[in-house]
Structure 1
């Protein structure tokens, strides 16, 4: 019991002054610092003006708001934690009821004119008028301006939707030289907020902080590496293109004399056009870097156009009379794939071709040609798809 009483007495003796703080203590301290001492926010708060003031900057990222491929812009939300020592704002806590810290409006104290050097919008002061800075009895000032940062970022959409982007936020004291202020990254560098807001299209891979020195300025660079989430693009862009391409190739499985072939191939081609109209606003729009997926889509449209032309020519040839000569190449292809009752052996076929006789009909020749065209375009489709996906996913892997 005696030990407990002694501990309580000791705690009361040590921290009793804190409990005894009053509004009079705060008022007297404000009067001392900002009136009696003639504090001037225009003067750099160093007793030795020949020594640069050290300013530490920590960036806390709250979330990615958006990435604009056309404007090459990253929009991020977060706040800076800027610390420095103001030698003109220090006091003895015991003289003011144990008061160890105060808050004061950010516009009423000296602060470095730190701004986003590679900002996208107009140059503005960080924070808002209602934000207060934290000042402790040793003169340590902590300023935490919250802001939406729009920075320039070189967006490369070549590997869409498997692209990874690296964006920088460079903070520098705009009008103060390195002889006045020395900016460094804080001990923690860049941090991710505990309640980080997730973006539907992008996820943050990692982030770094780095001190940079220029000829007359110092700055700190915060780097954010983000990766696009590819699932949405795969399900809504790539898969429909793959399915339409497969349907286009199966045009050669439809008999040319049924009358449905031209309607089928035109319908598939129009489906391409309608689909591109729908997704045109969703694909990255930039002339600096053309996405591989856009090149792949154009290849498939070109193949579809060639199939439409071939189908139109074959439909016209299928209605020619059988007594008209079939081109030698078509006869040769058909002779290897067709057998008429009048032609029973390879020797007879060869003799027939040598005499330039009509060994097969137009429909038989076109049917035989379609077998080769089917496998030809299927091979082109598979190779172009594998190569495009491999190139697009190299950076992702």
Structure 2
């Protein structure tokens, strides 16, 4: 098997020169028979057939001379950016220029031709000047892996690099440089609906003598456009959190209170699953938005627990003794309600029969509770009163927690993404 490969390689080495000789003989016979050759055909024959041009040989007569290759990147469009896999897809073309000592000619000998174009295939065209300057402008779809930082999603800024280097030669033979020192050309760029390019940069990634290989890096910094994610992810979660708090408005003697709380909790878990599916699996940078959803999910868990506890408390009968702490909390809540609902003073009025009415009545049949023997301390409390007071306390506490967590998280996301 190895012998066959060696013989085949030897035959290729022997036959390869004769291919050009046969091609040259055919072209020469054709040119001689027709005698209608053009200066461009003569130029092509002299450069690629007569000289035996080869693309595997570095185009210098003196191997100690360094070949300088100029690169510039011109961005056409940003096709996609996959945050989960960290793959950036770009549609761009490059201007690559170098000097080829084997592709030079005297213009007067070829009817003053100073520039020739050599098509390699339908997508590649080389422009060749008479002085040996080669210009190549390939259009490609470039894909690059990028480190993804979703900390400030959806106001995050991602930085990606496209690195170019010579795989076959060290910096002693080929050196890369760019004629656009500061930026990537965006003159022909088509805006992307999801990302906005805010800056570009060009630099050498490992320009140190020990590496012996120059890596030219084109850096692109882009910012996410947040409007879509704010309307489809942030707003529904905020509204769900608001609805979750209003479970304490429902009466405790009905079964819809527990069902309402559990439904909202399940909605939070669904949103958490959706958000995690769009985020990369990264333990170093946890998105603040994911932390916010976790906080709201934890708060929804506590709300569900307190709602079930309130339903249980309201079901107790009068034979069950109310602890002093709960009794004091209930009286304090009722006193605060009294102070906030009465318009003129912290009193309610009762009629002479003993029925309660709202503050501010003008009927003479009413007397002021402040002047009567009635007091909150002497009022008979029930477990229903305790449940209602607990609902009010939970409503205030969870409302404050929701406002604080929302303001802190959103401010941190918005400021961090600047």
Could you tell me the TM-score, scaled by structure 2's length? 0.77
Inter-CA distance 274–36: structure 2 relative to 1 (3 Å threshold): closer
Match of 1:88 among 102, 106, 117: 102
Partner of 1:318: 314
The 8 Å contact of residues 152 and 287 in structure 2, kept in 1 or not, is answered as yes
Partner of 2:246: 250
2:409 paired with 1:388 = yes
Single out whichever of 68-77 and 277-286 deviates more from structure 2: 277-286
Partner of 1:169: 162
In structure 2, what is the Cα distance between the partners aligned to 1:282 and 1:187? 36
Matches within 5 A, 1:1-397: 24-106=38-120, 130-187=123-180, 190-212=183-205, 213-214=207-208, 215-277=211-273, 280-338=276-334, 359-397=380-418
Unaligned stretches of 5+ residues in structure 2: 1-35, 336-347, 355-368
1:65-102 deviation per Cα after TM superposition (whole angstroms, max 9, x unaligned):
22222322222221221101112211222221221111
Task: After TM superposition, give the deviation of residue 217 of structure 1 in Å.
Answer: 1.2
The 8 Å contact of residues 284 and 291 in structure 1, kept in 2 or not, is answered as no
Single out whichever of 65-74 and 95-104 deviates more from structure 2: 65-74
Aligned residues: 349
Unaligned stretches of 5+ residues in structure 1: 1-21, 107-127, 353-357
SS at match of 2:162: strand
In structure 1, what is the Cα distance between the partners aligned to 2:387 and 2:56? 89
The 8 Å contact of residues 184 and 219 in structure 1, kept in 2 or not, is answered as no
Single out whichever of 334-343 and 365-374 deviates more from structure 2: 334-343
SS at match of 1:338: helix
In structure 1, what is the Cα distance between the partners aligned to 2:194 and 2:319? 63
The 8 Å contact of residues 58 and 189 in structure 1, kept in 2 or not, is answered as no
1:301-340 deviation per Cα after TM superposition (whole angstroms, max 9, x unaligned):
1111111111111101101112321122211111113379
Inter-CA distance 376–348: structure 2 relative to 1 (3 Å threshold): same
**Larger RCO, structures 1/2 (Cα 8 Å, 6+ apart):** 1
The 8 Å contact of residues 164 and 215 in structure 2, kept in 1 or not, is answered as yes
In structure 1, what is the Cα distance between the partners aligned to 2:59 and 2:182? 24
Task: After TM superposition, give the deviation of residue 37 of structure 1 in Å.
Answer: 3.0
Task: After TM superposition, give the deviation of residue 195 of structure 1 in Å.
Answer: 4.0
1:175-219 deviation per Cα after TM superposition (whole angstroms, max 9, x unaligned):
101110110112366534544233332121111111342421112
Cα RMSD over matched residues? 2.6
Partner of 1:7: none
1:346-375 deviation per Cα after TM superposition (whole angstroms, max 9, x unaligned):
99656x6xxxxx841111122122222111
SS at match of 2:390: helix
Task: After TM superposition, give the deviation of residue 47 of structure 1 in Å.
Answer: 3.0
SS at match of 1:191: coil
SS at match of 1:187: coil
In structure 2, what is the Cα distance between the partners aligned to 1:364 and 1:129? 84
The 8 Å contact of residues 184 and 218 in structure 2, kept in 1 or not, is answered as no
In structure 2, what is the Cα distance between the partners aligned to 1:25 and 1:266? 85
Task: After TM superposition, give the deviation of residue 33 of structure 1 in Å.
Answer: 1.5
SS at match of 2:101: coil
In structure 1, what is the Cα distance between the partners aligned to 2:77 and 2:385? 65
Task: After TM superposition, give the deviation of residue 231 of structure 1 in Å.
Answer: 0.8
SS at match of 1:255: coil
In structure 2, what is the Cα distance between the partners aligned to 1:241 and 1:50? 66
Inter-CA distance 142–359: structure 2 relative to 1 (3 Å threshold): same
Larger Rg: 2
Inter-CA distance 277–72: structure 2 relative to 1 (3 Å threshold): closer
